[in-house]
């Protein structure tokens, strides 16, 4: 856990990250050197496995970047294990109530505030070679459905929640399946921002196009993830393949 990176993530300034879903420590190491404030390592939808995670955390350790791991579920034992390996924080999908948020906070924290098991010899504590620090891990609570929207302010009010992070695909899908949704997507984004702001939390969003960033910052988002390793690689491959086909056509 990089303490300085965590301090910067909790400051008022906007911080920018990117999504890592391929499970490659080489890609993670490269991204860590490119100036991002935080990296999201995706265990929910990505192709990476839990076995890939430790090498990725090791590959990024030399750079001042926060490492956030999106877990596939709210299972406390898995969350504790990931934090023991040295992740800076957790992104929890589908947080729909304050009760769920409080349970997540308990999973992230040691007693008496939480229920996380304690060991002096885990990687997060230098395998016992340095004393544990008292820096709390970050908690990104994802708002991904109408129920989460309805309870966004209550979720933000939970002590220990750092970021309300919109899951754009799931949220838009959730709203589209309602016969008469009470919000459109843009209104939903505003609701999340205002809920976070009311309780001095951050709000975040994943975007595909970096050109959208100024408008999102103006709207009030402070934790913006720009693209992913998979999408960037796909775009580069498509561009290269398209160029090659045009050259072949010209040559013919």
Catalytic residues: 45
Residue 128 is classified by DSSP as: G
* Helix residue spans in the chain (DSSP H): 3-10, 25-32, 50-60, 76-84, 98-108, 146-150, 152-156, 168-176, 185-198, 213-219, 229-251
Angle, CA of 170, 143 and 17, to the nearest 5°: 90
Instruction: Report the alpha-carbon distance of residue 189 to residue 192 in Å, rounded.
Output: 5
Q: Identify whether the C-beta of residue 148 lies closer than 8 Å to the C-beta of residue 94.
A: yes
Could you tell me the two tokens for 242? 């398209």
Q: Identify whether the C-beta of residue 198 lies closer than 8 Å to the C-beta of residue 125.
A: no
């Amino acid at each position: 856990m990089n303490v300085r990176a965590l301090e910067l993530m909790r400051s008022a300034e906007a911080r920018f990250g990117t999504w890592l879903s391929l499970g490659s420590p080489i890609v993670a190491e490269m991204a860590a050197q490119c100036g991002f404030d935080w990296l999201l390592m995706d265990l929910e939808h990505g192709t990476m496995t839990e076995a890939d995670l430790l090498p990725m955390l090791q590959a990024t350790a030399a750079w001042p970047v926060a490492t956030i791991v999106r877990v596939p579920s709210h299972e406390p034992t898995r969350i504790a294990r990931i934090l023991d390996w040295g992740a800076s924080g957790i992104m929890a999908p589908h947080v729909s109530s304050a009760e769920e948020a409080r349970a997540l906070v308990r999973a992230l924290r040691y007693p008496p505030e939480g229920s996380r098991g304690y060991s002096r010899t885990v990687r997060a504590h230098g395998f016992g070679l340095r004393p544990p620090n008292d820096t709390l891990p970050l908690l990104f609570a994802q708002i991904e459905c109408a129920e989460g929207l309805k309870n966004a302010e209550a979720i933000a009010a939970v002590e220990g929640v750092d970021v309300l992070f919109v899951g754009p695909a799931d949220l838009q899908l959730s709203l589209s399946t309602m016969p008469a949704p009470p919000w459109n997507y843009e209104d939903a984004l505003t609701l999340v921002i205002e809920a976070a702001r009311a309780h001095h939390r951050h709000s975040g969003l994943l975007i595909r196009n970096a050109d959208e960033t100024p408008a999102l910052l103006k709207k009030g988002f402070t934790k913006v993830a720009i693209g992913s390793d998979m999408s960037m690689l796909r775009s580069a491959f498509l561009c290269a393949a398209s160029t090659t086909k045009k050259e072949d056509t010209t040559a013919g």
